[in-house]
Amino acid sequence: MSDIKKIATRESYGNALVELGRKYKNLVVLDADLAGATKTGTFLKEFPERHIDCGIAECNMMGIAAGLAATGKVPFASTFAMFASGRAYEQIRNSIGYPHLNVKIGATHAGISVGEDGATHQCNEDLALMRAIPGMVVLNPADDIEAKAAVEAAYLHDGPVYLRFGRLAVPVINDNPDYKFEIGKGIILREGKDVTIAATGLCVWEAIKAAELLEKDGINARVINIHTIKPLDEELIIESARKTGKVVTVEEHSVIGGLGSAVAEVLGEKMPTAILRIGIKDVFGESGPAPELIKKYGLDADSIYKEIKKFI
């Protein structure tokens, strides 16, 4: 695995903003005194006149972003997922979501992989909070290539978008000429007939490795990358459930309200199917190295493989 290129999607976010800033002059970036961590500092260096440090005042930042959007700018409001979706939830709901303003929320340091920052900063509830806001698009890219594509897709989309990025460097898996990012469209990464593994974010790589382990046991798993939590690719979910008869969701998020819930809702209404939700099991995280936490909370390939074996 040492020869596999790895990069944190928060790095991809910062790089994408610079690239897009050169193309689109109405793109502005806001940050809440975390430009070094969210990687918007790269945008600040090149476009200081289009970067606003709002200080440690995330709620105010969302209000400023709403105001800028009302004047025709396309603001990317950036901070940790915990502060964006948690501390500033009311402002996102009322000042951005309700008037359906063209604000993009760049939320970094999401999930258990924040690591040593501990439970207070490990936001495992943000997908649930954001997908509950009417009209909010929710994106959770799996790697560097997908993260950059998601940022541009968010810019081009007319309306509020929540973008989820991670602190931990993750393998690049979408470096192929056929890769195409489209909001609301999942991607089939591996064909299979025995079980569908629907994964999102950093868990996509782990799902692929788990499928390889299952293959050794004669279990053929279809792996799909669901980078858009909302709007969900219902067509792909239903088609996969019909083909394999069993569905497993894998996410670095609570099993309540995230990808697992979204998939279960669709299948419950339109295609009743046996489903297993793998994620954070209604508990808070704890401080520790990210790789160890991923393993402890059952999100590594070996743990996913074992859970699916039991499920089948």
Rounded CA gap, 149 and 32, in Å? Answer: 24
**Total number of residues shown for the chain:** 312
Q: Are 149 and 121 in contact (CB under 8 A)?
A: no
| CB burial readout 130-169, b (16+ within 10 A) else e | bbebeebbbbbbbbbbbbbbbbebbbeeebbbbbbbbbbb
Q: Please classify residue 282 by burial: count the beta carbons closer than 10 Å to its beta carbon, then call 0-12 exposed, 13-18 middle and 19+ buried.
A: exposed
Kindly state the tokens that stand for 141: 């890219």
11 is an active site residue: no
Peptide bond into 291 cis (omega under 30): no
Q: Which entry of 11, 58, 146, 206 is annotated as an active-site residue?
A: 58
- Catalytic residues, by residue number, are 58
